Amino acid sequence: MKTRVQFLILIFTLSTIMCKVNSQSLQVSPELKELIGLSVNKDRKVAEKDIDKQIAEVQKKAVRSSYIPKLELGGKYVYAYSSVNSKIGDIQGFESIEKLQELMKSAAFPVLFPNLSGIASEITKLQTLLTQQGIQLPSISNNLDGDFYGNYFGIDASVKMLLYSGGQVPNLSKALAEKIKAQEALSDKCKSDVISEVITYYDQLALLNQSKHVLDESAVRLTAEKKYAATALKNGLATSFDTLKIAVANANLEAKLSEYESKKTLLFQKLSQLTGKPVSSFENMNPDLKLLFYANSSSDINNRAELRALTAGVEAQKYLLKSEKSYYLPKIQAIASARYDNVFNAKVDFNAPIPMNMNIKNIGLGPTYMVGAGFKWEIFDRSGGSAKVRQAKLEVMKAENAQEEARELLELNQTKVSTNYQASIAQVAYKDKQRIAARMALELAQKSYNDGMINITERLATETEMQNAELEYLQSVFAQRQSVLEYYKATGDLVLSNIQ
């Protein structure tokens, strides 16, 4: 007949063969699977990481939208008034008129221009007549004096489109794509923590339920023992000290039951907090505590969420470095615009240099259309471009250093959880063998006590040893399940898609 240890090894072997069909799946009860789903959906840290991912997606769309044409429309209306009063320099350009007047007054003019010989006298008569009538011909002075006021209305529309960004837009977009991958990985990390937490509390509830079952069995035996001791006391086969020892053992048992009940209440509260379900919904739960097995023998940690996030972070920094290096490349933009200007109800009133008064009803300029392309090329900017490139290089080095450090720690952790997992299997086998021996010892002590071969102290000692052996076995099963969870987390396989 096979021993209990051989039976456990057989279960482990069969489970390994069955799990190879889906080596990374974690088999849980439908009840626990529902609790995991509710907890992941409710967890605030998971929601925060999902929001961070959405923010990165919005930022990526904003960067890509740099290539979308931008339409700008503007207009303004103003009423303007300006008064001008200043000195100006000598005015040139009218010297020929003065020389002409001198020529017309000279004696040679009638000889040279006989047909115009009377024009000088006619001009003189005209000037005399105008002076008599109070009219003077305008003269030019060296002063600038006058007022201007009126209304202005203008409107303009322009369309601008980025044709070439020098590589900055594509690289920034790729950097944000890597940032989105990092946020997804961090969200998976939070989900993995939630899954582990829910399973742990659920297993603790199973541990308490089965521990209570062990204590209930002891309570039944102690009750029977108490009745037997009372009868024996009446017949002189036992002493009052014997019954006192049984009462002490019973009180100790009741204290343990009370402790487990209080722990169960706290577990209900915690599960309610994680899932959002009312506390009362957990009172009828009776989960079972069974061994778990991790059949995937791969030691690859590349699927670990933390490492995926750091790897994406390194790639994002590299794209940012490329973006900064493209700082010196020219940027090309297409431009199209239309403009209309209008001056209306305006007036110009100048006293100098020439007396002038003019009313402007309406002056329209446009529409004026312009289409073309422009470029911007920052050839040298040591305070901006080169400094940012150096900073981006350092950021890449920093991200790569963090990635390598995390890889070393995760590899060490993977080795640790692997050895702990193997040790937990052996510990369960040992504790199972120990509880079998304790049960056999209890049965033998019961018979010996009934036959009067041992006293009540020895009988109660075997009862305590049996309780401890049973509880330690259950605790070892709980620890073994925890080692499996840590194994799944170490390889990055504790995700919703692997929960079956």
Q: How far apart (Å, rounded) are the C-alpha atoms in residues 25 and 28?
A: 9
Domain boundaries, the chain: 4-42+167-324+383-498, 92-139
Question: Using 50, 70 and 90 to split pLDDT, how confident is the model at 377?
Answer: confident
CB of 326 closer than 8 Å to CB of 171 = yes
Per-residue pLDDT at 1 exceeds 50 = no
Per-residue pLDDT at 97 exceeds 80 = no
> Long-range contacts of range 55-60, CB-CB < 8 Å, 24 or more positions apart?
56/176, 56/179, 56/180, 56/183, 57/180, 59/176, 59/179, 60/173, 60/176, 60/177, 60/180
Per-residue pLDDT at 139 exceeds 70 = no
pTM to 2 decimals? 0.72
Determine which of 161-170, 255-264, 296-305, 317-326 has the lowest per-residue pLDDT on average: 296-305
Per-residue pLDDT at 452 exceeds 50 = yes
Determine which of 37-46, 271-280, 459-468 has the lowest per-residue pLDDT on average: 459-468
Q: Which CATH number fits domain 4-42+167-324+383-498: 3.20.10.10, 1.20.1600.10, 3.40.30.10, 1.10.1200.10?
A: 1.20.1600.10
Among 8-17, 157-166, 310-319, the range with the most confident prediction by mean pLDDT is 310-319
Residues 493, 494, 497, 500, Cα dihedral to 10°: 110
